[in-house]
A and B are shown apart, each in its own frame.
Chain A
Amino acid sequence: MAKKIGIEVSLAISEAVKLADVDAIAAYPITPQTHIVEHLSELVADGDLNAEFIPVESEHSAMSVCAGTSAAGARTYTATSSQGLALMNEILFIIPALRLPVVMTLANRSLSGPISIWNDHSDLMSVRDTGWISIFAENGQEAFDLTLQSFKIAEDHRVMLPINVNIDGFTLSHVIEPHEFLSQEEVDSFLPPYDPPLQLNPDKPVSMGMVGIPEIYFEAKKAQDVALIESKAVIKEVFQEFGEKFGRTYNVIESYRAEDAETLLLTMGSIGETAMEAIDIMKDEQGKKVGLLRLRLWRPFPVDELRELVKGIKTLAVIDRAVSFGGTGAPVGGEIRSALYSTEDRPYVASFIAGLGGRDVTIKDFMDMVNLAEKMETEQEVHEYKMIGVRE
């Protein structure tokens, strides 16, 4: 086993991007993502990474450049957060429609206003329907591993879609913790060079980004949706290959001590690790029948896996880090209710929103949410969503 190195998670991601030997990086700095691209620009300037680093004047331009370099056949990477992602919005829809395998780290941060640089998932949720594959890392090691795996998934000819790898801003991006790096040889044995099925090349001209008249637009969108849904099989395949090669196995939904559970918590992102501590206390010290599901793959949504994992469960408490204002549930909670509606013996789904704008979600908060969800289940309380830890 390689020696563990103490390094900031942002820099570990930069190292993964370097090991993936990307050809083009276009990015604009924004907190809390900045350290990633700052370090990459140093690697390029120092000659440690042979890539084009294209500094741009805005995130809209960053993503536009990514469209261009990826279409030209370059392995392309960028990173952003919050307002930066919002500014990219127009181009975010175009990348998957053009089937361009751009990989982007999203250091999740709340959206203004009020102005906030802190962590929640409102930025990702604002681009939910752009057609990107969305994966969550819960710690630095996962961020490193998933960044590498993302290039392989995105560039697979059965997929050819962009991926955003989500890491919680500050609570992951700015933390120094142990990482086990892979060597260049190990990465090369796993990740082949990008072989674009089509590329912009003056010697062999193709057109990309054409008009979709009413006679073809609908079919194009259906094809895109099918591609995204079918990418799940490739994602699982790559997760498995990575696990066999390097001993760290990933699943589209991770399950923690859920065997005999009657109540399950469901989280996305780095709070899942804190939730594990809460589960241990509730199981080992209080004898409660609880467990945890951590949703790693947000898009395409792993519907079948979710249905299987919640079979026989009485209460499912879903914790969101974003609001769908005036909606019928928080983004993840509402989606899960919808996914389970047609199943028999579905669990009671409590939809909670916690930790907006950098508010800590503590071990006690998780225990409180389990107890509250169980009470709501007993009373079969009808609700849309509840905000936890907000002062009223």
Chain B
Amino acid sequence: MIEVRIHGRGGQGGVTSAEMLAIAAISEGKYAQAFPSFGPERRGAPVIAFARVSDTKIRNRTKVYAPDIVVVLDPSVMKIVDVEEGLKEDGLLVINSGKSIDELRQEFGFKTAIAKVDATRIAMEELGLPITNTTMLGALVKGKEVISLDSLVAPLEKRFGRIAARNIKAMQRAYKETIVAGKES
């Protein structure tokens, strides 16, 4: 089972990222869960969402305490939230940042594997908005192939309707542009 925690700010669509991941996984015949952190929804405040993907039925309904993957939609939350909390030693951080992986390691002391992309830039260019939830799905899949990138296309089409094509393009671009670095020894 792969457990995922997504960090963003209210209004950035972190819950939607988790949902798209779960729906895509279920469409592949896997088992999956996606759920919000169940707090009051406040635009701009740091929020989290969770997802689980597994080949067998998922019964655990608690929050994710020891994620395999942590996705950071908004680089600014790394300064106020310990995004590494509970992350497994061989886990993966998927970060939206304009900085290099080395700079991120230096600034925050990250030791785990990192998949990094400048998702805000891609989202601004493709969507005209700094909303990175769909873009970062591309980075997540590049970092670890939890599901195939193609499986996300149908759920995104259904959810985003007329703006789906741009979101799918942003996701596919992020998949190509994401740089992955292994765990620091």
Contacts and interface: CB of A to CB of B under 8 A. Distances in A.
Interface string A132-174: 0000000000000000000000000000000000000011101
Nearest to B34: A176
A274 interface: yes
B26 A178 contact: yes
Interface stretch (A77-85, A194-202, A296-304, A360-368): A360-368
A276 interface: yes
Interface size range of chain B in the complex: 20 to 34
A7 B20 CA distance: 10
Given A6-B22, A6-B26, A363 B35 contact: no
A175 B22 CA distance: 10
B26 A5 contact: yes
Interface size range of chain A in the complex: 20 to 34
B59 A274 contact: yes
B25 interface: yes
A358 interface: yes
Contacts, number: 68
A169 to B, nearest CB: 9
B11 interface: no
A225 interface: no
A14 interface: no
B-side binding surface: helix, strand, loop or mixed?
mixed
A175 B59 contact: no
Interface string B158-178: 000000000000000000000
A177 B30 CA distance: 10
Contacts of B60: 273-274, 277, 363
Contacts of B35: 170-171, 174-176
Contacts of B44: none
Interface in A314-365: 358, 360-363
B38 A175 contact: no
Given A170-B36, A176-B23, A176-B35, 18 more contacts: A6-B22, A6-B23, A6-B32, A7-B23, A8-B19, A117-B40, A118-B38, A170-B35, A171-B35, A171-B61, A174-B35, A174-B38, A175-B33, A175-B35, A177-B22, A177-B34, A271-B61, A274-B61
